[in-house]
Structure 1
Amino acid sequence: MKRLIFALPGDPDTRTGGYLYDKRLSAELRVLGWSIDLLRLPEVLANPAEVPEAERRLGAIPDGLPVMIDGLALGLLPEAAKALAERGPLIALVHHPLAEETGLTPGQVDRLRDLERAALRPAQAIVVTSPATARSLTRNYAVGAERITVALPGVDPAPLAEGTGSPFTLLSVGSLTRRKGQAVLLRALEQVSFVDFQLFLAGSPKREPEEAKRLQILAEDHRHSPRINFAGEVDEGKLAQLYRAADLFVLPSFHEGYGMVLTESLAHGVPVVATTAGAIPETLPPGTARLVPPGDHAALAATLETLMTEPLDYAALRTEALAVRDHLPRWPETGLRVSRLLERLL
């Protein structure tokens, strides 16, 4: 039997891009004949005091079994990584390097980069979700390209968005964190003067509670406050409703290792406004999005106002989004790519 231990921190049902990737990858591997043993680890990134407990759980894995560890945990566990690699195949799954999170001090960046570099060193293989992350690991983490497999996230076919047009409906999906740039979006919309719009922000406030509180305060003081709606962490059905009603998707992130919500938007035929950060320019097919520099709320405001007030500009973007719906990456391709890697290692 093809058996894999898949270790990840916290609740596997958390609705973020990384956890959804882990869940769908596991499902596709099962379809391909793999038995997946899910091993839950403590959230060591949020609570480093839990590192010994994570090491204990990983140390209890029987010798010889292949082990894949999500980078949110692996990056803090270099000693456990070294020990596991001596007992069987070790695969790292890196969505984006921990040191590339927004809001870290220079000291935190250096510490995380050193830890993750040490944790990745013994891994026989490293799965990443974008070519941009692969380049970052090669450039900043001394990882040879021959150890890296790029397995792009897939996207499911989706119903065509109907939009509303009046008011013009903006949708942004992502945990309420500094990296996702919701504060930049709110500042940009302060500068939008005469457009009839509404904004839905869908995402959990739990990952960075202080940032979530700051966004609530910004929204309450906003000149357009009645038009700003916090949807919270939504389930799959509610998210589909939000996509269906959207005219434009906005993701003003400071970094993305891929950005699964971008291709999900395109699957619904919803065009995108995003930034030039991380993997975003490579994730979005040409012509489907307008990109601005991360953190530039003036450029974001100008782009949004143009698309909301110039029907021909918006129609051109929407046409391109509709054209790519049937040509986006699919989950079976993701699973097959990782399955072939695992078979080679065994």
Structure 2
Amino acid sequence: MKHSVYFAYPGDLEAKTGGYGYDRKVISELRNLGWHVDLVPLGAGYPFPDHDTILRTEEMLGALPEKSLVLIDGLAYGALGDIAKRLAQRITFIALVHHPLASEGNITEQEQSTLLASERLALKHASTVFVTSSSTCQQLIENYDVPGAKIVVAKPGTEQNVQAERTSQVPIILSVGSIIPRKGYDVLVAALNKIKHLAWECRIVGSRTMDAHCDATLQQQIIENQLSDRVVLVGQIDDVRSEFTRSDIFALASRYEGYGMVFAEALSLGLPIVACDAGAVSEVVPADAGILVAPDDSDAFANALKRIVTDRELANGMAEASFRQSKLLPSWTDTGKLFSEVLEKAANERI
């Protein structure tokens, strides 16, 4: 007989981001495996919730039955250091860390220090910590004092696809991710400006509402570089897969990724990739499937794009390697089974 688990999450679970997409898949797979999953919405504003949200969060979590099993998204859990310490005596926390909160871009040193201390305390009181990559696992061991034996690496699943045929006369460069500083769109546009003498089109797909200032600054950069007719800010859409299938190159200049599900998506459709060697990106993208450069290096990013745009043989070879690599990635069924096994053990231990 399967046990019950509470899934606690911040913000909007239906948001079109990699982290929330991961959460939704895990919930779905656990339910498919017979788990009863109760959702516990913790409210907006994380990882910097206001005072009222913090009070409601502690009230909701504190009202759960004693010995409850609580799988909680790290975007909220990392901000709940003191609450986790108080409640861990009566409920079992299982943390799901997509990436350490202090690794998020565009935060002050004081905010970074606060998040580091809070997340370190919260993780101390989690019975198990799920992470999405070996890179994040190592980071938690080295910087957050989390014992390795307490960490479980559960890589995102990837759906297997048929390799798309490239028929574009003008190469289409695709970038997918919310428009926030960490995604490095300023670097991408700066790189595109350096190769605007070449034939290409670029489509940027992702939410434009998560950081209004970042979105406005990016629009202005595109206008100032006279790229408005070649760089399209598509915004958030439901059918992202169609964008991948019509594209020739995937490019994202993230300054940090806890895994990077969009890179796995690009692999599954056989796209050559240009990205930054940051966080877990090199763990997902093998050397023969793309070109990784240092973060914030628009010259190197431009040169990488130029090589793939101008060298069809290189692009085709990377596309083949990309598609081959995708066959080695886990499925969501694999990821769900791993969660189920770990949760089953935790449930049995608390009885």
Q: TM-score range by the shorter chain?
A: over 0.9
Q: In the alignment, is residue 190 of structure 1 matched against residue 175 of structure 2?
A: no
For residues 311-326 of structure 1, what are the structure 2 equivalents within 5 Å?
311-326=312-327
Counterpart residue number, 1:47: 49
Counterpart residue number, 1:116: 119
Q: In the alignment, is residue 25 of structure 1 matched against residue 26 of structure 2?
A: yes
Counterpart residue number, 1:310: 311
Identity %: 37
Scaled by the length of structure 2, what TM-score is found? 0.95
Q: 1:105 aligns with which of 105, 108, 120?
A: 108
Q: What is the Cα deviation at residue 163 of structure 1? A: 3.2
Q: What is the Cα deviation at residue 331 of structure 1? A: 0.6
Which amino acid is the alignment partner of residue 307 of structure 2? T
Counterpart residue number, 2:3: 2
Q: 1:199 aligns with which of 196, 199, 202?
A: 202
SS in 2 for 1:270: coil
For residues 194-233 of structure 1, what are the structure 2 equivalents within 5 Å?
194-233=197-236
Q: What is the Cα deviation at residue 182 of structure 1? A: 0.6
SS in 1 for 2:267: helix
Distance 2:33 2:84 in 1: 27
Distance 2:28 2:268 in 1: 20
Scaled by the length of structure 1, what TM-score is found? 0.96
Distance 1:159 1:211 in 2: 35
Distance 1:271 1:307 in 2: 8
Counterpart residue number, 1:130: 133
Deviations 1:61-105 (A, max 9, x none): 111110011011011112321233211321011000000011222
Q: What is the Cα deviation at residue 220 of structure 1? A: 1.6
SS in 1 for 2:181: coil
Which amino acid is the alignment partner of residue 91 of structure 1? I
Q: What is the Cα deviation at residue 46 of structure 1? A: 4.4
Q: In the alignment, is residue 339 of structure 1 matched against residue 340 of structure 2?
A: yes
Q: What is the Cα deviation at residue 160 of structure 1? A: 2.8
The 8 Å contact of residues 51 and 76 in structure 1, kept in 2 or not, is answered as no
SS in 2 for 1:93: strand
Which amino acid is the alignment partner of residue 89 of structure 1? T
Distance 1:97 1:250 in 2: 23
The 8 Å contact of residues 163 and 169 in structure 1, kept in 2 or not, is answered as no
Q: Which moved more, 1:321-330 or 1:120-129?
A: 321-330
The 8 Å contact of residues 201 and 229 in structure 1, kept in 2 or not, is answered as yes
Q: What is the Cα deviation at residue 297 of structure 1? A: 0.2
Q: In the alignment, is residue 69 of structure 1 matched against residue 72 of structure 2?
A: yes
The 8 Å contact of residues 263 and 283 in structure 1, kept in 2 or not, is answered as yes
Distance 2:121 2:295 in 1: 30
Structure 1 stretches of 4+ moved >4 Å: none
For residues 150-169 of structure 1, what are the structure 2 equivalents within 5 Å?
150-169=153-172
Q: What is the Cα deviation at residue 327 of structure 1? A: 2.5
Counterpart residue number, 1:258: 259
Distance 1:301 1:284 in 2: 18
Distance 1:313 1:227 in 2: 23
The 8 Å contact of residues 159 and 244 in structure 1, kept in 2 or not, is answered as no
Distance 1:30 1:271 in 2: 35
SS in 2 for 1:19: helix
For residues 225-244 of structure 1, what are the structure 2 equivalents within 5 Å?
225-235=228-238, 237=239, 239-244=240-245
Which amino acid is the alignment partner of residue 120 of structure 2? R
Distance 1:327 1:145 in 2: 24
Q: What is the Cα deviation at residue 222 of structure 1? A: 2.0
Counterpart residue number, 1:15: 16
- Aligned residue pairs, count: 344
Q: Which moved more, 1:81-90 or 1:15-24?
A: 81-90
Which amino acid is the alignment partner of residue 132 of structure 1? S
Counterpart residue number, 1:87: 90
Q: What is the Cα deviation at residue 119 of structure 1? A: 1.0
Distance 1:47 1:91 in 2: 21
Which amino acid is the alignment partner of residue 86 of structure 1? Q
Q: What is the Cα deviation at residue 164 of structure 1? A: 4.0
Q: What is the Cα deviation at residue 173 of structure 1? A: 0.3
Q: What is the Cα deviation at residue 219 of structure 1? A: 1.3
Q: Which moved more, 1:165-174 or 1:82-91?
A: 82-91
Unmatched 5+ residue regions in structure 1?
Answer: none
SS in 2 for 1:118: helix
Query: What is the CA RMSD across the aligned residues, in angstroms?
Result: 1.3
The 8 Å contact of residues 178 and 206 in structure 2, kept in 1 or not, is answered as yes
